[in-house]
Amino acid sequence: MSLIVQKFGGSSVANAERVFNVAKIVTDTYAQGNDVVVVVSAQGDTTDDLIAKGQEINPNASKRERDMLVAAGEQVSIALLSMAIEKLGFPVVSLLGWQAGFQTSSAHTSARIRRVVPNRIRKELDKKRIVVVAGFQGVSRYDDITTLGRGGSDTSAVAIAAAMHADLCQIFTDVEGVYTADPRLVPNARKLKDISYDEMLELATLGAQVLNNRSVEMAKKYNIELEVLSSLVRAPGTIVKEKSKMEKMLISGVAKDTDVARVSVIGVPDEPGFAFKMFSKVSAKNINVDIILQSIGRDGTKDISFTIPLDKVDDVKECLQEYIENIGAKDLLIGTDVAKISIVGAGMESHAGVATKMFEAATSEIKVSVLINKKDADRAVTAIHEKFFEE
Amino acid sequence: MSLIVQKFGGSSVANAERVFNVAKIVTDTYAQGNDVVVVVSAQGDTTDDLIAKGQEINPNASKRERDMLVAAGEQVSIALLSMAIEKLGFPVVSLLGWQAGFQTSSAHTSARIRRVVPNRIRKELDKKRIVVVAGFQGVSRYDDITTLGRGGSDTSAVAIAAAMHADLCQIFTDVEGVYTADPRLVPNARKLKDISYDEMLELATLGAQVLNNRSVEMAKKYNIELEVLSSLVRAPGTIVKEKSKMEKMLISGVAKDTDVARVSVIGVPDEPGFAFKMFSKVSAKNINVDIILQSIGRDGTKDISFTIPLDKVDDVKECLQEYIENIGAKDLLIGTDVAKISIVGAGMESHAGVATKMFEAATSEIKVSVLINKKDADRAVTAIHEKFFEE
């Protein structure tokens, strides 16, 4: 008998039919003799609908009240899923974040889980009940409802798995697992049997969002075996664990990210501290900087380029314009017509040759990224996938 | 400075405009220097919509999960109202039933409030915040979410008022107060300045449902002054208190109840215990019996008639059919084409003449009810109102 945590996202419980589909998966797992804890998100567009309702009333509402509002979404879905499980004839109980022992920071709308105290869950499992837990939400030390931010239900699931030393944490999604490339783009893309935490983290940051990043970091920290699999197709998914043993491949995936922009600061005087100060300013605005390039110009200045998320273009302009004028740099150029293509693989660490095949610098030992014109992005992914996986 | 509890029903917060209307009433009260605790129901049809969603999944779902489901409704409304109050520039905090200290029995879907521990509410009031509390819900000793049953938000409001020794508990509705008769039926009906708890209780049970009965009983027990008033028209409402001092009227209202049926058991042998046993059986099915009549027949048997709620007709048939055959009664007749007309007034206690004006028995010292044909109900109310209030 194992303890299995199963997490289902909002689209998996979007309507009554899907709720019963999930109930079937859960009760099958239970009927095989396992203890089952289920973590569910709010149904379909519920969270967005609730946010829109709040926006209509007050776009500047406090984060505490926003959390109060959206947390109602999971309350509905855990109740409905439990009702479906009851209908199938199995013992079940639903628990809200605070009932399930999710103690978080007070950073409303993006709270961190401080710890999970699973006493109640354990008591219910001892009574042989399936336990359905509201993902995405918790309670602060002040007894206020908090939420973990988008994708937080993955983190909820891994946190329970860690707190209860679960044997497996299954993350059900609308894809069948982790692929060597986006299957909608590359027909020959194939599903990986397994992948390491580090590879998964790199893929997640690269626009191949299958799992929430914080959840993978937490799984790595507590060594929780994850399985990414489909809630609609019954088939083994991809296992995420410390070392990928099954696959001996050099690289495990190719990813495309078109939500990037290139920022170039032209003619920065070549004096110590200028670049550091510039990146400090950007980072103070919570803008994540990726690929950084410096090129020395002929007149003793340098050009500094880096990538940022596409939606941060205005923020970057606002935060750098004055500074680069003060230090006497020549220009600030923004390129939005770019895409980032990356290959990820733990095998690269010991194969220096891989990086030399690409022409720009890598920011990780298991990832190589290049910036290309957006219009060429799909062809590039296909070509790279052919080169590494189909030859 | 007073402590005022204000309760708003679902229709008062049905959309963004109405939410702001409520926010305005609340903040006006606060701006006058009062501490304000607001109790809100779920928006408009939210509760019904949630119940329908649950029914679709499992019509026989456990009551615990039904409570989990519908309690999400008030969570949304307290967050939205708080956001609106923030928008108007006032300090506010929303609290769920469990956060507000509503400790209830474990009788899911119709839990009783055991006590209110208002520590958190008091702390928030000390910080000069308006406190918005979710009505209708609480938490059991097992930390499970409970609901109080329909109309429970009135009870929530009175319970807070009692626990905190509030100076006034205002129940905002879609009518302007308590009237001498239904104003839609009797154009000359007039709003009462005040009414006693007992009169209010009799009126509430008679289909003139303005206040939830349990809330009036609780207000009477803890001597909480209630005011029934409109959330849309700013005007003084009707005060409900121990003794109605302003009004020296013999009777305070005429009410019609068409949701009744008459049950007649014909030819019951006149032996001790038969009638008692029969009513025990009915009461065991949670069927409320009102007006009871016995008439002695010529052959040593008697006929027993009584009224029940219209939706209990099948239940009564099912629970009595066999028994009346066993004791040898002749027939069980059900009349659904009847209406109950009642007059209520504390003044009747000392005016025996009132009861004699009506031709059937009263079940209360301050109420007289008659059963008539349904088609005559409206004419009867108008005629009685004319007789007592317009002459």
pLDDT at A271 exceeding the cut of 90: no
Task: Give, for B139, the enclosing helix (H) or strand (E).
Answer: strand B137-139
Q: Which of B54, B79, B145 sits opposite A69 (nearest CB)?
A: B79
What does the pLDDT look like over B24-67, one tens digit per residue? 999 999 999 999 999 999 998 899 999 999 999 999 999 999 99
**Min CA distance, B75 vs chain A (Å)?**
6
State what percent of residues in chain B have pLDDT above 90.
51
* Alpha carbons B336 and A19: distance in angstroms, whole number: 42
Picking from A273-277, A310-314, B246-250, which range would have the lowest pLDDT averaged per residue? B246-250
pLDDT for A207 equals: 61
What are A313-336's pLDDT values in tens digits? 998 998 888 888 888 888 899 999
Q: Predicted confidence band at B358 (pLDDT cuts at 50, 70, 90)?
A: very low
A71 touches chain B (CB under 8 A): yes
The whole-number pLDDT of residue B175 equals: 85
Q: Which amino acid is at A31?
A: A
Range with lowest mean pLDDT among A262-276, A289-303, A346-360, B281-295: A346-360
pLDDT of residue B350: 53
Sheet strand arrangement including A260-269: A292-296, A301-309, A260-269, A331-335
Residue B207, pLDDT score = 61
pLDDT per position as a tens digit, B90-105: 999 999 999 999 999 9
Residue range B212-253, pLDDT digits in tens: 888 999 999 999 999 999 999 999 999 999 875 544 566 778
Tell me the shortest Cα–Cα distance from B58 to chain A, in angstroms: 6
pLDDT of the residue at A359? 38
pLDDT for position B250 = 64
Judge whether B286 is closer than 8 Å to chain A, CB to CB: no
Question: Which of A76, A85, A92, A144 to substitute to test the interface with B, most B CBs within 10 Å?
Answer: A76
Task: Give me the pLDDT at residue A347, please.
Answer: 66
pLDDT band at A168 (very low <50, low <70, confident <90, very high): very high
What token pair was written down for B369?
A: 């009810």
A68/B87 touch (CB, cutoff 8 Å), yes or no: no
Q: Is residue B68 scored above 90 in pLDDT?
A: yes
Query: Is the pLDDT reported for residue B141 higher than 80?
Result: yes
Q: How many CB atoms are closer than 10 A to CB A343?
A: 30
pLDDT over 50 (residue B357): no
Cα–Cα distances (Å) from A232 to A30, A78, A229, in that order, read 18, 19, 9
Question: Looking at residues A31-46, what average pLDDT do you find?
Answer: 96
Judge whether A139 is closer than 8 Å to chain B, CB to CB.
no
Q: Which of B16, B68, B86 sits opposite A65 (nearest CB)?
A: B86
pTM for the complete prediction? Answer: 0.81
A108 Cα to chain B: minimum distance (Å): 14
Cβ distance of A79 and B65 shorter than 8 Å: yes
Whether the per-residue pLDDT at B309 is higher than 70: the answer is: yes
Average pLDDT over chain A reads 88
Across the range B144-150, mean pLDDT stands at 91
The residue ranking higher by pLDDT, B5 or A233, is B5
The residue among B68, B92, B119, B147 with the most chain A CBs within 10 A of its CB, best to mutate, is B68
Q: Say which residue, B391 or B374, is predicted with more confidence.
A: B374
Euclidean distance between CA atoms B163 and B161, whole angstroms: 6
Confidence of residue A389 (pLDDT cuts 50, 70, 90): confident
Chain A within 8 Å of B42 (Cβ-Cβ)?
no
| Residue A94: pLDDT band with limits 50, 70, 90 | very high
To 5 degrees, how large is the angle CA B163–CA B169–CA B175?
Answer: 145
In this prediction, residue A91 has a pLDDT band, given cuts at 50, 70 and 90, of very high
Minimal CA separation from A164 to chain B, in Å: 21
| Cα distance between residue A7 and residue A22, in whole Å | 10
pLDDT tier at B288 (50, 70, 90 boundaries)? Answer: confident
Checking if the pLDDT of B121 tops 90, the result is yes
The predicted pLDDT at position B391 comes to 66
Could A75 and B69 be called an inter-chain contact, meaning their C-beta atoms sit closer than 8 Å?
Answer: yes
Other C-beta atoms lying within 10 Å of the C-beta of residue A296:
10
Residue ranges of E strands in chain A: 3-8, 35-40, 92-95, 102-104, 113-116, 130-134, 137-139, 145-147, 168-173, 194-196, 226-230, 238-241, 253-257, 260-269, 292-296, 301-309, 331-335, 338-344, 367-373
Whether residue B58 lies within 8 A of chain A, CB to CB, comes out as: yes
Could you tell me the CA-to-CA distances from B277 to B281, B295, B301, B316, B319 in Å, in that order? 6, 18, 16, 14, 12
B63 shares contact with chain A (CB less than 8 Å): no
Question: Which domains are delineated in chain A?
Answer: 3-173 (3.40.1160.10)
Q: Least CB-CB distance to A86: which of B20, B56, B58? A: B58
Alpha helix locations (H) across chain B? Answer: 16-31, 46-57, 63-87, 119-126, 152-163, 197-205, 213-222, 274-284, 313-326, 353-357, 377-385
Partner residue facing B79 (CB), from A19, A65, A120: A65
The amino acid at residue B332 is: L
Predicted complex ipTM exceeds 0.90: no
Q: What is the pLDDT of residue A355?
A: 46
User: What whole-number distance in Å separates Cα of residue A37 and Cα of residue A85?
Assistant: 13
Asked whether residue A80 carries a pLDDT value surpassing 90, the answer given is yes
Q: Is A209 on the interface with B (CB under 8 A)?
A: no
Residues of chain B positioned with their CB less than 8 A from the CB of A93: 64
pLDDT band at A294 (very low <50, low <70, confident <90, very high): confident
Q: Mean of the per-residue pLDDT values for chain B?
A: 88
Q: Is the pLDDT of residue A247 over 50?
A: no
Residue of A nearest to B93 (CA): A65
B11 pLDDT higher than 50: yes
Interchain pair A75, B80: CB under 8 A: no
Q: How confident is the model at residue B273 (pLDDT cuts 50, 70, 90)?
A: confident
pLDDT for position B291: 77
Q: Give the residue with greater pLDDT, B8 vs A326.
A: B8
For the cut 70, the answer to whether the pLDDT of residue B205 exceeds it is: no
Q: Tell me how far apart the alpha carbons of residues A251 and A181 are, in angstroms, rounded to a whole number.
A: 11
pLDDT given at position A352: 47
When pLDDT is averaged across residues B136-163 and rounded to a whole number, the result is 94
A172 pLDDT more than 80: yes
d(CA B265, CA B282): 13
Are B82 and A65 inside 8 Å of each other by CB? yes
pLDDT band at residue B208, thresholds of 50, 70 and 90? Answer: low
Residue-level pLDDT at B67:
97
Over pLDDT 90: what percentage of chain A?
51
**pLDDT category, B254, cuts 50, 70, 90?**
confident
List, as ranges, residues 102-121 from A with C-beta within 8 Å of B: 120
Q: Calculate how close chain A gets to B1, using CA atoms only, in Å.
A: 27
pLDDT, mean of residues A206-226: 85
The residue in chain A having the minimum alpha-carbon distance to the alpha carbon of residue B74 is A72
pLDDT at A218 over 80: yes
Q: Is the pLDDT of residue A237 over 70?
A: yes
